[in-house]
């Protein structure tokens, strides 16, 4: 009778240890990887939005350069470069 109780105790301790190590630690590692991936995607989205707000989409100049040259000439030369070099004429 004492042998079966001792075996049961060892088996219970083994199963609880396996549950704690595998379920708790391994699943937390997996969830951490998932959360880190989503935070990286969020950072990339924020960087893209910041770039859209702070630079010209045609000539890629920063927003502090916008005042240094006239809006008309910037638009004129950017569109001239865009239509001649990037897209084919129809």
Domain boundaries, the chain: 1-54, 56-90
CA angle 83, 47, 60 (to 5 degrees): 25
The pTM for the full model equals 0.49
pLDDT in tens, 31-87: 999 999 999 999 999 998 888 877 776 667 676 665 565 455 555 556 555 555 555
Q: Reply yes or no on whether the pLDDT at 24 is more than 50.
A: yes
Q: Reply yes or no on whether the pLDDT at 5 is more than 60.
A: yes
- pLDDT recorded at residue 80: 58
Q: How far apart are CA 54 and CA 74, in angstroms?
A: 16
- pLDDT recorded at residue 70: 46
């Amino acid at each position: 009778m004492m042998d079966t109780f001792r075996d049961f105790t060892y088996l219970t301790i083994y199963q609880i240890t396996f549950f704690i190590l595998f379920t708790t630690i391994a699943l937390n590692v997996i969830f951490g990887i998932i959360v880190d991936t989503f935070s990286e995607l969020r950072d990339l989205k924020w960087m893209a939005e910041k770039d859209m707000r702070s630079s010209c989409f045609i000539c890629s100049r920063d927003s502090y350069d916008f005042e240094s040259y006239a809006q008309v000439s910037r638009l004129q030369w950017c569109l001239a470069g865009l239509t001649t070099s990037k897209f084919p004429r129809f």
